[in-house]
Amino acid sequence: MSASEAPDHSAALPDPGHHAAVRRVALGAAAVLAAALVGVAVAGISGRSAGSSNGPAFPAIHPAAAPAGWLSATLPDGAVLWYPPSMRPVTADRGAASAARLGRTGAYLLYLNATPRQGDERAANWPAFRLSHLRDDDARSARELAAAAGVRFRGGTGSCVLDSYVTKVGAHHYTELACLVQGSRASSVVVAAAPTANWPQAASLLERAIAAYRVQ
Amino acid sequence: MSAFSVRASLAALIAAAALAACGTSPPAHPAAAHHDPGTTPAAPAIPAPAATHVAAAPAATHAAKPKHKKRHKKPAAVAPVTQAPAVTQAPPPVNPMPQGNGGDHDADNNGGPDDGDGGTV
C-alpha cells in the first residue's frame, strides 16, 4: 500500500511547472464558467416574458361574471369590483373600493382593491411602475414573478403583474396580482393580494375576483 | 617603511570608502519601514488601498515580497482606527413610512397589502 503511494507523491511534487499549467487551465475554465453564468443571468433578466423562467407562470385570466352570491362595490367611473361573501368591505381611499378577509388577529388573509388610475401608470410601463411604486410607498423590497400584457377583462384590456413584496411596517410578505385595466371611458387598477405563505390556496379565489372585475 | 605606509594608507582609504558606501545604502531601506509608523497623519488615508495590494502582491513578484508585505501589513493594522468612526457614525435606520395611517386609512399604511393608488399614500 505505502509502496504504491510513494511513487505518486514523488511524481507529483518535483514538477512545479506542471502545477502551474494545471492552475492556469483551472483558472481559465473557472473564468469561462463564470462568464457563461453571467451571460445566462443577464439573458434571464432581459428576456422577461409572460411567465418568468424560474418563477411561476402568469395565471390565465378568463373574464367571467361573478358567481352567484358575490357582492360588489362600484367606483365613481363605473368599474365594478366583485368579492366573495367571505370578504367584507374595508376602508379605502376616497373613490376606491377595498374588501378583505381578516384573521382573528386582524391580519389580512385576502385583499381586493380597485382604484381609479391616479398617476403616470400606463399599460406599457405597468409592471415596472407597480414595483417602483411598491418600493416607494410601503414595501422594503418587491420583485416581479410574472407579467402579462393584453389581458382581457370585462369591458376592457389590462396589463398585469404578479409580484411579491415585504412591507416596511411589520415586514409582512405578500403576493399580489395587480392589473391596470383600460376601459372605453376610464382606466383603473385592480389589486388582489394575500400573504405569500397563503398564496397557493388563495390564488384561485382571487383570480376569480380579478376575472370578474368589470370596467366601463 | 614609507612605501608600506603609502600602501597602508591607500588600503585604509579604500576600506573607508567601501564602508562609507555600505553605510549610506542601508538607511534607504529602513526609511520605507520607518515611513509607516512615523507618518501618523498620512497613515489613515492609506489603509484602504493597502488591502487591495495585499491581495495582489503575492501573485505579482516574488523578489519584492518581503518589502511589500512589510509596507502593507503595517497600514492594515491602522485600518480599524479609520473604520471605527464609520461604525459609530452609522445613522439608525429611518423608516420613511408614515406611521399610524399617514394621512389616510389605507391598509398599506399599517403593514397591510398595498392598494392600487398611483401616487398617493
Q: Give the chain A residue nearest B103 (alpha carbons).
A: A93
- Put simply, the answer to whether A174 touches B114 (Cβ < 8 Å) is yes
- Please give the average per-residue pLDDT across A83-100, as a whole number: 96
**Chain A neighbors of B108, CB-CB under 8 A:** 137-138, 167
**Chain B neighbors of A108, CB-CB under 8 A:** 107, 112-113
pLDDT of residue A144: 97
Taking only the tens place, the pLDDT of each residue in A116-148 is: 998 889 999 999 999 999 999 889 999 999 999
Q: Record the pTM.
A: 0.57
Q: Mean pLDDT check: name the lowest of A78-87, B38-47, B101-110.
A: B38-47
Q: CB–CB of B109/A138 below 8 Å?
A: yes
pLDDT of residue B36: 36
Please state, in angstroms and rounded to a whole number, the distance separating the CA atoms of residues A112 and A188. 13
Q: CB–CB of A127/A159 below 8 Å?
A: yes
Interface check for B107 against chain A (CB to CB < 8 A): the answer is yes
Please state, in angstroms and rounded to a whole number, the distance separating the CA atoms of residues A79 and A155. 9
Residue by residue, DSSP assigns B48-95 as HHHHHHHHHHHHH-STTHHHHHHHHHHHHHHHHHHHHHHHHHPPPP--
Q: Is residue A185 predicted with pLDDT exceeding 50? A: yes
**Chain A neighbors of B102, CB-CB under 8 A:** none
Please state, in angstroms and rounded to a whole number, the distance separating the CA atoms of residues A89 and A82. 11
Taking only the tens place, the pLDDT of each residue in B15-33 is: 555 544 444 443 333 333 3
Average pLDDT, whole number, for chain B? 46
Smallest CA–CA distance, residue A33 to chain B, in Å, is 22
Enumerate residues 6+ apart whose C-beta is below 8 A from B58.
B65
Could you state, in order of their start, the residue ranges of all structural domains in chain A?
Answer: 2-46, 71-212
Interface check for A15 against chain B (CB to CB < 8 A): the answer is no
Taking only the tens place, the pLDDT of each residue in B81-118 is: 444 444 445 444 333 333 344 446 667 778 999 999 88
Q: Give the chain B residue nearest A115 (alpha carbons).
A: B116
Of residues B54 and A205, which shows the higher confidence score?
A: A205
* Fold type of domain A71-212: Protein Transport Mog1p; Chain A (3.40.1000)
Smallest CA–CA distance, residue B55 to chain A, in Å, is 17
Cell numbers standing for residue A106: 386582524
